[in-house]
Amino acid sequence: MNRLKCIWTGAMKKGIWRDAAELYWKRLSGLYTSDSVCVKDGPSHLAPGPRKEAEAKAILAKTTPRDRVIVLDERGKSRTSAQLAQDLTGWLEDPARQPCFILGGAYGLADQVRDRADDLLAFGPMTLPHELARVVLFEQLYRAATILKNIPYHH
């Protein structure tokens, strides 16, 4: 079974986002072996810059050389669901590497996380709350998986 990994900052606090993320993560995990890694938010007493730096250190500590790092970032390439499915096929076909999706926290990501990225992925030019971005990522990965496995879901 192919393996996916997601690393994000901060636990889901709001029930609606948490419930939606759990729904799509469970569905996705039924189609691919999926590892989820949550790192702590940076210390709240820090300014946004140092807070992002602290989060970056924790995020990067959870990556391995085997990870093909795909960072969610507004500067990334927007894709249709079908294009994401096609990219996912390519990422999964490399037996030496596993796709590793990274989402930042409330203040985004520090540059060193972007520098580690093999690909940047955007959901468009709008900024989304990080909890909603996680739901969208999980749903789109699930949608891509259903496209690839010919499971009725994407119309």
User: Which residues make up each annotated binding site for S-adenosyl-L-methionine?
Assistant: 72, 104, 123-128
Q: Which residue reads 């749903």 in tokens?
A: 139
Question: Measured between alpha carbons, how far is 147 from 80 in angstroms, rounded to an integer?
Answer: 12
* Dihedral pair phi/psi, residue 46, rounded to 5°: -85, 150
Question: Measured between alpha carbons, how far is 74 from 108 in angstroms, rounded to an integer?
Answer: 10
Token pair, residue 95, equals: 């037996």
Query: What is the residue type of 41?
Result: D
Annotated binding residues, written as ranges, equal 72, 104, 123-128
Token pair, residue 21, equals: 């993320």
Pairing mode, strands 33-39 and 98-103: unpaired
Question: Measured between alpha carbons, how far is 49 from 37 in angstroms, rounded to an integer?
Answer: 22
Contacts of 122 (CB under 8 A, 6+ apart): 72, 73, 74, 75, 76, 77, 78
